[in-house]
Structure 1
Amino acid sequence: MHIRSEFDQWAASGRDREMEETHWHTAKRALARIPIEQGDTILDLGTGSGYVLRALNETRHIGQGIGLDVSPEMVTNAREYTDANNISYTVGDFHHLPIADDSIDHIWSMEAFFFASEPLEMLEEIRRVLRPGGTFFCAVNFFEESEQSHRWRERIDLPMYLWSQQEYRTLFRKSGLSVATQDTIPDEDIDIPPESEFPTEEWETRAAMIDRYRTWGTLLTVGVAP
């Protein structure tokens, strides 16, 4: 299935709101690290429901928010959910951003980067649109070290890159971005039942669930434009 069709279906079925709820568990901790100054311009790649831009607008007083998604249905929903004149949404391709050079202060992306067909090309576009010293916060739950996340490939009928932490750093540097930091953020909000309640519908063992959420959680790689 084409990525646009897949995510159009997700938006139509309400999965955009489901992703918003689950991603927020670790997104809120990563977003707090972005060095946003009042009036900054923020680009959200793979914006989904637009929850990140709404949250940043309410708490960090951003100047402009731009949400880009490959799915027209996601963009339609995000517009309906958002009541702010300084936030806009557009349908677009990660590899050809409809944005001027050196015009973005900070870029955020969660659970979208590994869908890029040409990841290095996407990173080069990110570098192009970032102002000098601007940051790219890339958050993913699907990565090599988090073995319990690998099964997602069986549930999503789309090509997905499975990279290690080292491979993310290498890609960033190849594109010209410096790697400021990289770490994992545990999901402390998800409820993990006691051992007596396993197996569950989703998990065979409690240890596997702990590994996914508490041990690994979300991988955050932060790049900085020269």
Structure 2
Amino acid sequence: MSVREEFDAWAADGRDKGMEERHWHTAKHVLARMPVEDGDRVLDLGTGSGYALRALADSTGMARGYGLDGAPEMTHNAREYALDASPAADLGFVVGDFGHLPFDDDSLDHAFTMEAFYYSADPIETLREVARVLRPGGTFHCAVNYYEENVHSHDWQEHISVDMTRWDASEYRDAFREAGLHVAEQDNVADTEIDIPPAGEFPTENWDSREAMVERYREFGTLLTVGVVP
């Protein structure tokens, strides 16, 4: 199954809103770190329901937000959600390929992606495209929960038909640099909102031990790598 088919089905089932709720726990902290200024243009790769752009439109002076997704149903839903929210900034949503971004060179100020980068068919090509469309000094905030150090994510591939790239933190840094991006920051953003029961309630349906659950959400959380265009 293609990325388009997989996530069109998710959007049709309303699972885009479920992703928004889960991702928001750490995405909001990543978005708060982005140096978005008045008049900036921001790209959201794998926009899903478009929640990141709606949040930036409400909290910054961003002039224009572009949400790109490989699934037409996702972009359709994102447009509807944006209309309902009446965000301050001008938001547009487009179906596109991560490896061929439909933007001119040096035309955007910042880019963001949450839990979508690893679906790229060619991650290095995607990074080169991001570096191409960002202006000098522009930033790329790339956030993933599916990565090598997070051993609790390793079985995710078994539950989805789309191929996923599982890099470790050093591979992300190396790939950013290979694509021409300086690595300005890399760390783990903890999910402090997931409720973790007391030890006496384990094992649960999903967790054998409280220690494993704490490790997954409080220690590993979301891996954030920030690249800057020279």
TM-score (norm. length: structure 2): 0.96
CA distance in 2, matches of 1:2, 1:199: 36
Give the gaps of 5 or more residues in structure 2: none
Counterpart for residue 119 of structure 1: 123
Of 149-158 and 28-37, the range deviating more from structure 2: 149-158
Counterpart for residue 206 of structure 2: 202
Deviations 1:114-154 (A, max 9, x none): 11111111111001100000000000001111111111111
Q: CA RMSD in A?
A: 0.9
CA distance in 1, matches of 2:79, 2:206: 33
Q: Tell me, what secondary structure is at the counterpart of 1:68?
A: strand
CA distance in 2, matches of 1:81, 1:201: 33
Cα displacement (A) at 1:208: 1.5
Counterpart for residue 102 of structure 1: 106
Counterpart for residue 180 of structure 2: 176
Deviations 1:178-199 (A, max 9, x none): 0001000110011111122222
Q: Tell me, what secondary structure is at the counterpart of 2:33?
A: coil
Counterpart for residue 64 of structure 2: 64
Counterpart for residue 12 of structure 1: 12
Counterpart for residue 51 of structure 1: 51
Task: After TM superposition, list the pairs within 5 Å mapping 1:16-27 onto structure 2.
Answer: 16-27=16-27
CA distance in 1, matches of 2:158, 2:210: 21
CA distance in 2, matches of 1:11, 1:207: 34
Number of equivalences:
226
Cα displacement (A) at 1:203: 1.8
Aligned residue among 166, 169, 176 for 1:165: 169
Counterpart for residue 80 of structure 2: 80
Cα displacement (A) at 1:166: 0.2
Cα displacement (A) at 1:201: 2.1
* Runs of 4+ deviating beyond 6 Å: none
Cα displacement (A) at 1:2: 1.1
Output the amino acid matched with 2:124: L
Give the gaps of 5 or more residues in structure 1: none
Output the amino acid matched with 2:41: T
Is 1:222 paired with 2:215?
A: no
CA distance in 1, matches of 2:124, 2:177: 10
Output the amino acid matched with 2:204: T
Alignment identity in percent?
58
Counterpart for residue 31 of structure 2: 31
Counterpart for residue 150 of structure 1: 154
